[in-house]
Chain A
Amino acid sequence: GAVVSQHPSWVICKSGTSVKIECRSLDFQATTMFWYRQFPKQSLMLMATSNEGSKATYEQGVEKDKFLINHASLTLSTLTVTSAHPEDSSFYICSALMPGLSGSTDTQYFGPGTRLTVL
């Protein structure tokens, strides 16, 4: 099956610092990747859609200057949380869209997630 990795799996940082999270599709090329955030006991919230070679598309209410997304290659997208604050503490999950074979549907595969704690 399709494998998507994320690094780091968890990070603790001080308020005001920036944190970069990497998302990689290991065995397929992903033109499109997605970044989600999930708070405890809540559902997935889509933050942005990342397209290789172009600017990310952010969902309403997500600050693009705070959550910087770079999708520089077909296997790597990064999310940088700039000037992190305690309210940014959450579980950040990426997914990569695996193109479907002829007649089959494109499918999202998720990375294992990154747990961010901002002190």
Chain B
Amino acid sequence: QKEVEQNSGPLSVPEGAIASLNCTYSDRGSQSFFWYRQYSGKSPELIMFIYSNGDKEDGRFTAQLNKASQYVSLLIRDSQPSDSATYLCAVDSGGYQKVTFGTGTKLQVIP
């Protein structure tokens, strides 16, 4: 069974700091990796995706992928209280077009 694991948190960081969210996956054949943000009571919204080893930056967000170690991370620079949410990692192993979601990490940015 394909697994995607995240620390449930909460991860607390002070405003302005870098928040680092990590995700590991079990299927070595996984091809695409996604980060979603979900505010309480709302549906997930896509932050970014990555499918090549290395870093991908989008504004304050940087996704990092290491396929050899089977982990993907999300860095949030200059964290703001509005970044407080649950962050979901999703992994697509291809073929069936179905991604596997992690259970999410709750991030709290303290003003």
Interface residues in chain A, defined as those with a beta carbon under 8 Å from any beta carbon in chain B: 1, 32, 34, 43-44, 46, 49, 91, 93, 97, 105-113
B110 contacts partner chain A, Cβ-Cβ < 8 Å: no
CA distance A93 to B44 in the complex (A): 9
Question: Complex formed: what's the CA distance from A106 to B42 in Å?
Answer: 23
Q: How far is the CA of A17 from the CA of B51 in the complex (A)?
A: 44
CB distance from B24 to the nearest CB of A (A): 16
Residues of B within 8 A of A108 (CB): 34, 46, 90, 99
The answer to the question of B97 belonging to the interface, with a C-beta cut-off of 8 Å to chain A, is: yes
User: A105-B32, A105-B51, A107-B34 in contact; A112/B101 too (CB < 8 A)?
Assistant: no
Inter-chain contact A43/B104, CB cutoff 8 Å: yes
Contact A105 B49 (CB under 8 A): yes
A105 to B31, CA, bound (A): 9
Which residues from chain B sit less than 8 Å from chain A, CB to CB?
31-32, 34, 36, 41-46, 49, 51, 88, 90, 92, 97-99, 101-104
Contact B90 A113 (CB under 8 A): no
CA gap between A93 and B39 in the complex, in Å: 14
Q: How far is the CB of B65 from chain A (nearest CB, A)?
A: 12
Contact B45 A110 (CB under 8 A): yes
